[in-house]
Amino acid sequence: MVKVAESSHSNLGKIEIAPEVLTIIASIATSEIKGLEGHFKEIKNLSVEKITKKQLSRGIKVDTKDDGIHIDVYCSLSYGVNISETARKIQTTIYNSLTTMTTIVPSQINVHITHIESTN
């Protein structure tokens, strides 16, 4: 479990978030980016009710380490997109989603481009 830093001085208890939740947030955020192919594109085209937990965890790896949260994204891009711009957008989108929804600031968001798909 990942502990969420408390921003108030309330004594109501602690908040913990399972790493799987961070994986789901990162996966949904990544699916919104133009130029992505494969399973992230499939997630974008499915209704929320039809998305399985397995689909959401595919291509995203979340590790909790002593120095913070490390996220690895393995993705396929469309031929012709600017790779570095798209990878940076993936990092920014995941960072913004996680910090907004959980107040957790990831230490690393590593993007691994595993394939380029042609438009044939």
**pLDDT tens digits in sequence order for the chain, 120 residues long:** 666 554 555 677 788 888 888 988 998 898 889 888 866 666 666 555 666 666 666 789 999 888 889 999 999 999 999 999 999 999 999 999 999 999 899 999 999 999 998 866
Domain housing 40: 2-117
pLDDT for the residue 12:
76
Per DSSP, 80 falls in state T
- Structure token pair of residue 96: 């913004």
State the angle between helix axes of 83-102 and 19-31 in degrees (0 to 180), rounded to the nearest 10.
Answer: 130
CATH code: domain of residue 23? 3.30.70.1350
Q: How many domains does the chain have?
A: 1
